[in-house]
Amino acid sequence: MRRAAWLALLGASLAGTAGPAAGQAGRPIHASDDAGRPLVLPAPARRIVSLAPHATELLYAAGAGSRLVGVDRDSNYPPEALKLPRGGDGMQPNVEYLLALQPDLVVLWAYGARSSDALLDRFGIVRYTSNPRRLADIPDAIERLGELAGTAGAARASAEPLRRRLAQLRARYAGQAPVRVFYQVGTQPMYTVNDGGIIGDALRTCGAVNIFGGLPAASPQVSAEGVLQQRPQAIVIGRSGQGAEAALAEWRTLGPTLTIPSSAIWTVDPDTMHRPGPRMIAATARLCERIDAVRKANADGLRPQSGERGKNGREREPRRRDP
């Protein structure tokens, strides 16, 4: 009952601003979000709330940082975002927090909870679902958000260098010898990704073959034994901090079963590699460099030959060619 009364009072306070940027000069902005849902803003958004860390980064890249009035609790980049009001996230949106900020645009994650959608619609708050699924979608997303925020010029200035960098990466690694990679996104249980999402696109950009890319689930659960059966040439783990060292240690416990050299097992920062924001393209460039080092080591014959023994005395795996 208290919540219903609170919403009624808030509705009265928003009566003059029920439509996004209502009464402001300028032509209405017509757009579609990444879910294919059309939306209309009467004028560029002036009060934006982001409920996803990647969306926060995209909005800052679009020059719309000054229009952000609130972010989710996980938005930690750029540093300016830490100074904004924080509450809820895409999975558990705090409706009271959202409405109290009186936004005219809320940017949501595609896989977040939809429980707040009807209430946002009721108060005339436009929502935009963000879901870049390819690296090329990142600069496009920056420009679309710039249009919604009235910062199109700044957005283009951010997007174009990202497009050029991405084109350079694709050209550099196109036609290179494939490297079989296992990409790990979780531990206990262990998860990976298929080829349908943006991490799979990053691996393809590097000329890598995702050993579980053909699985139907976007984030399938796998086992260490299942990974080794696929004979990866490199293992990439999306962990940072203490979790990174723990994940590496888990692979080391396999001992002789693990035939991949330690230089071909490494961690990457999940904030930059798992968020489809502007930093992901630079993170992909670093990923490609590490994968290329594995590729060159294989080509130079640094992978052990059949029958050779390492310093620990155990037989090394035979060198093989990938299909």
pLDDT tens digits for range 115-129? 778 778 888 889 999
Q: What is the mean pLDDT of the chain?
A: 86
Q: Which of 185, 179, 265, 181 is nearest to 218 (CA)?
A: 185
Rounded-to-integer distance, Cα 298 and Cα 33, Å: 44
Strands 190-191 and 221-222 come out as antiparallel
Q: Do 41 and 22 touch, CB atoms closer than 8 A?
A: no
Average pLDDT over residues 170-180: 97
For 114, the token pair is: 């939809």
Contact 199, 259 (CB under 8 A): no
Write down the pLDDT at residue 303: 52
Which of 65-74, 136-145, 258-267 shows the lowest mean pLDDT across its residues? Answer: 258-267
Q: Which residue has the higher pLDDT, 257 or 22?
A: 257
Q: Which domains does the chain have, with CATH numbers?
A: 14-161 (3.40.50.1980), 176-299 (3.40.50.1980)
Q: Which of 189, 273, 201, 207 is nearest to 237 (CA)?
A: 273
* Confidence band, pLDDT 50/70/90 cuts, at residue 186: confident
Condensed to tens digits (0 to 9), the pLDDT of residues 212-243 reads: 999 999 999 999 999 999 999 999 999 999 89
Q: Which residues pair with 189 in a beta bridge?
A: none
Give the mean model confidence (pLDDT) for residues 174-203.
Answer: 96
pLDDT at 240: 93
